[in-house]
Amino acid sequence: MSAAKPIEILLVEDSADDAEMTIRALRKRNLANGIVHVRDGEAALEFLHAGDAPPPRLVLLDLKMPKLGGLEVLKRLREDARTRALPVVILTSSKEEPDVQAGYALGANSYIVKPVDFEKFQEAVSTVGLYWLVLNQAPR
């Protein structure tokens, strides 16, 4: 009996179009094998705190979502010892300085504004995935 495949990336994104573009960009670099997509902050927290499975290696987190926004999700992740060191990259359309400041103050590892142009968006997501999944040395 084989163990369940580990989750590499948790994508927290309410927009189906943005989620599909993100997944497509990760697939292009062969980084989408272990991706899970949830549509709101409550679902993200439920996923991360359910069961005994190891956490994903990376969370890609949108800010403006229904039920529970990305900043509150980030705050709760950093307050919980199980997810405190989990790399979280905010991937959002918000360029608002208060959002950027709050994201970093709450412990985001990176804040990326989604480019409107698909090619630029694809390159940004691919670069993020390569860095966090291939190059970055995470604590065990």
pLDDT digits (tens, 9 = 90+) for 31-46: 778 899 999 999 999 9
Is residue 30 a part of any domain in this protein?
yes
Measured CA to CA, the distance from residue 64 to residue 24 in angstroms comes to 21
Q: Give residue 140's pLDDT band: very low, low, confident or very high (50, 70, 90).
A: low
Q: Locate the DSSP E strands across the chain.
A: 9-12, 35-38, 58-61, 88-92, 110-113
Q: Is residue 140 part of a domain?
A: no
Residues in the chain: 140
On whether the CB atoms of residues 59 and 22 are closer than 8 A, the answer is: no
Parent domain of 79: 10-134
Express as a percent the part of the chain with pLDDT over 70: 92
Choose among 30, 86, 29, 19: nearest CA to 58: 86
* Number of domain units in the chain: 1
- Report if residue 101 sits inside a domain: yes
Question: Does a structural domain hold residue 77?
Answer: yes
Note whether residue 5 is domain-resident: no
Q: What is the CATH number of the domain that holds 36?
A: 3.40.50.2300
What does pTM read for this prediction?
0.87
Q: What is the C-alpha to C-alpha distance for residues 71 and 62, in angstroms, rounded to an integer?
A: 9
Angle between helices 70-79 and 97-105 (to 10 degrees): 10
